[in-house]
């Protein structure tokens, strides 16, 4: 059976967790392939909001195997907290959650280094969530990181101390100390808990399941515009957020990949620093922020808001080979008389382009908008796509024509039931 992949097409926070939850009943496996606790997937059902950071979003379905892949960076403390919250809500995760032994561990010293490095940047901050993600991936690429499987080795304590010693030297370069002593007891307690879970070679597990005919949904974190190679570098995350990352982050061959679900909001948001061509600094941007409750599910930070950006979306669609688009949070635009869509950019020399320039040029261009009529309808009460207002259908059709990919789902509210399949 194939592997279908779900990726964000913007700068993250597109609503991937909700879509995984909606699609999950048709899959046997949900596998997370990159990122760490800097990502937050929000799922709402039964009137309750659930926020996941490292646990795959299929965890609420008892029949689904959930896999934390080797491409993930795992914070044992946050992971234990997540699982405890699930237990408190009556979710039985023990039998269907597997963690790759090759996933990298986030240490307390990684979190300390993250803050030190960000503060050292002064006015050119990346906008890090300060969860230790960047330093952990740095150690992974530098071949000095600790992996989940290392906690099973008799010399794990010595390996940990060697890592802290290296990190101490790095901190001293900035004239700082790590100051992690108060966090270490909690870390080692969480490591003991992690040892009791299903730690395995998940690349073998997943490929065995595929041979058995099981259907796998690969779940990404963040968004394509934050990809370490193709995003708005250096204002990006530290991992590969596009479809290619599913292969390296899970240990599956490209030939297994079938459908690619691209998730996009009906507008656009970004958290942290970096270029954002369609950002709105006015009352309209604030209206979108408040209507969409655009505050980070992990950090609580207010998100930067703007109109939808088709050149950036086309770029993400190309990189990922998107086969269908899921359009999220259309209801946030309910109150607008007109909806603006960025179709092209104007470059500093006056030329127009529908290509995404390099990040340095992104800050120098002017978005060119097409104005479309708003629908002025409360969408959350609609449960059938046929009942959607014609203006929204026209908006969707406009996107399909310009992006050359069908929109198969339109979300009109946070709950599971507010997910409409387009006919």
Identify the active-site residue in 140, 167, 256, 326: 140
Distance CA 125, CA 274 (A): 9
**Is position 138 annotated in a ligand binding site?**
no
**Is position 15 annotated in a ligand binding site?**
yes
**Is position 42 annotated in a ligand binding site?**
yes
- Nearest C-alpha neighbor of 341 from the set 312, 377, 376: 312
**Is position 53 annotated in a ligand binding site?**
no
How many Cβ atoms from other residues are within 10 Å of residue 66's Cβ? 22
**Is position 41 annotated in a ligand binding site?**
yes
**Is position 273 annotated in a ligand binding site?**
no
Distance CA 80, CA 60 (A): 16
**Is position 17 annotated in a ligand binding site?**
yes
| Environment class of 401 (CB within 10 Å of its CB; exposed 0-12, middle 13-18, buried 19+) | exposed
Query: First vs last Cα of the chain: how many Å apart?
Result: 26
**Is position 320 annotated in a ligand binding site?**
no
**Is position 298 annotated in a ligand binding site?**
yes
**Is position 131 annotated in a ligand binding site?**
no
User: DSSP characters for 198-211?
Assistant: EEE-HHHHHHHHHH
Q: Identify whether 41 is a catalytic site residue.
A: yes
**Is position 176 annotated in a ligand binding site?**
no
Distance CA 323, CA 408 (A): 10
**Is position 297 annotated in a ligand binding site?**
yes
Distance CA 193, CA 76 (A): 8
Distance CA 118, CA 148 (A): 26
**Is position 303 annotated in a ligand binding site?**
yes
**Is position 363 annotated in a ligand binding site?**
no
Distance CA 406, CA 395 (A): 12
Which residues are registered as beta bridge partners of 67?
A: 31, 98
Q: Identify whether 102 is a catalytic site residue.
A: no
**Is position 38 annotated in a ligand binding site?**
yes
**Is position 285 annotated in a ligand binding site?**
no
Cα-Cα-Cα-Cα dihedral of 19, 74, 273, 164, to 10°?
A: 180
Identify the active-site residue in 4, 13, 21, 28: 13
**Is position 5 annotated in a ligand binding site?**
no
**Is position 14 annotated in a ligand binding site?**
yes
397: helix, coil or strand? helix
**Is position 12 annotated in a ligand binding site?**
yes
Which residue's entry shows tokens 């330093």? Answer: 135
Buried b (16+ CB within 10 A) or exposed e, 339-358: bbbbbbbeeeeeeeeeebbe
Distance CA 359, CA 4 (A): 30
Q: Identify whether 140 is a catalytic site residue.
A: yes
Radius of gyration of the chain (CA): 21
Identify the active-site residue in 41, 102, 256, 326: 41
Binding residues for GTP: 12-18, 40-42, 303, 329-331, 411-413
Binding residues: 12-18, 38-42, 129, 143, 222, 237, 297-303, 329-331, 411-413
Binding residues for IMP: 13-16, 38-41, 129, 143, 222, 237, 301
Binding residues for substrate: 297-303
Binding residues for Mg(2+): 13, 40
Give catalytic residues, as residue numbers. 13, 41, 140
């Amino acid at each position: 059976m194939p592997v279908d992949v779900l990726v964000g097409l913007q700068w993250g926070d597109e609503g991937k967790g909700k879509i995984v939850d909606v699609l999950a009943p048709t899959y046997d496996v949900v596998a997370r392939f990159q990122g760490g606790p800097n990502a937050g997937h929000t799922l709402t059902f039964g009137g309750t909001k659930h926020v996941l950071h490292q646990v795959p979003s299929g965890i609420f379905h008892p029949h689904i195997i959930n896999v934390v892949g080797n491409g993930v960076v795992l914070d044992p403390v946050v992971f234990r907290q997540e699982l405890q919250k699930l237990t408190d809500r009556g979710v039985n995760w023990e039998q269907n959650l597997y963690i790759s032994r090759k996933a990298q561990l986030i240490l307390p010293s990684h979190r300390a280094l993250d803050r030190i490095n960000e503060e050292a940047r002064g006015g050119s901050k990346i906008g890090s969530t300060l969860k230790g993600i960047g330093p952990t991936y740095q150690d992974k690429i530098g071949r000095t990181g600790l992996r989940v499987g290392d906690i099973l080795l008799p010399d794990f304590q010595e390996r940990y101390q060697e890592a802290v010693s290296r990190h101490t030297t790095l901190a001293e370069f900035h004239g700082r100390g790590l100051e992690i002593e108060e966090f270490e007891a909690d870390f080692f307690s969480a490591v003991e808990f992690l040892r009791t879970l299903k730690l395995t070679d998940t690349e073998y597990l997943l490929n065995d399941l595929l041979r058995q005919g099981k259907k796998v949904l690969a779940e990404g974190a963040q968004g394509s515009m934050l990809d370490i190679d193709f995003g708005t570098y250096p204002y990006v995350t530290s991992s590969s957020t596009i479809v290619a990352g599913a292969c390296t982050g899970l240990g599956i061959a490209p030939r297994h990949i079938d459908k690619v679900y691209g998730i996009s909001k009906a507008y656009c948001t970004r958290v942290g620093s970096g270029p954002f061509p369609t950002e709105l600094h006015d009352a309209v941007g604030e209206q979108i922020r408040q209507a969409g409750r655009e505050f980070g599910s992990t950090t609580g930070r207010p998100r930067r808001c703007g109109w939808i950006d088709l050149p950036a979306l086309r770029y993400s669609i190309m990189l990922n080979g998107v086969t269908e688009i899921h359009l999220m949070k259309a209801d946030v635009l309910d109150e607008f008389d007109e909806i603006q869509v960025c179709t092209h950019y104007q470059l500093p020399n006056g030329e127009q382009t529908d290509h995404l320039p390099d990040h340095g040029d992104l800050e120098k261009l002017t978005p060119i908008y097409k104005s479309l009529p708003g629908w002025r309808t409360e969408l959350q009460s609609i449960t059938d796509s046929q009942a959607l207002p014609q203006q929204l259908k026209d908006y969707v059709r406009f996107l399909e024509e310009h992006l050359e990919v069908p929109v198969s789902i339109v979300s009109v509210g946070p709950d599971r039931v507010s997910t409409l399949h387009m006919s």
